[in-house]
Amino acid sequence: MGNPARKFSKGRRDRRRAQTFKLSAPSIVECPQCHEVKLSHRACRKCGFYNGKQVISVED
């Protein structure tokens, strides 16, 4: 069984391993109440609604 001819640096090793780990972009949806863009599965920051109910009070 062959051995490596020289040592790979930690940066080169980690750069190679990082190719398989890529983050996906967050899913952005439209709020059904105020039609503002928001992150999915989170309360709207503009109107405070989530799942058709007011869950946080928002000052205008």
- Give DSSP secondary structure letters for 1-60: ----SSPPPHHHHHHHHGGG--PPPPPEEE-TTT--EEETTS--TTT-EETTEE-S----
Cα 24 to Cα 42: distance, rounded to the nearest angstrom: 18
Q: Where are the domains of the chain?
A: 26-60
Query: Which amino acid, one-letter code, is at 45?
Result: R
Q: Does the structure show a pLDDT above 80 at 33?
A: yes
Cα 55 to Cα 41: distance, rounded to the nearest angstrom: 13
Q: What is the mean pLDDT of the chain?
A: 91
pLDDT given at position 60:
65
3, two tokens? 């051995």
pTM of the model: 0.57
Instruction: Give the mean pLDDT of 6-13.
Output: 94
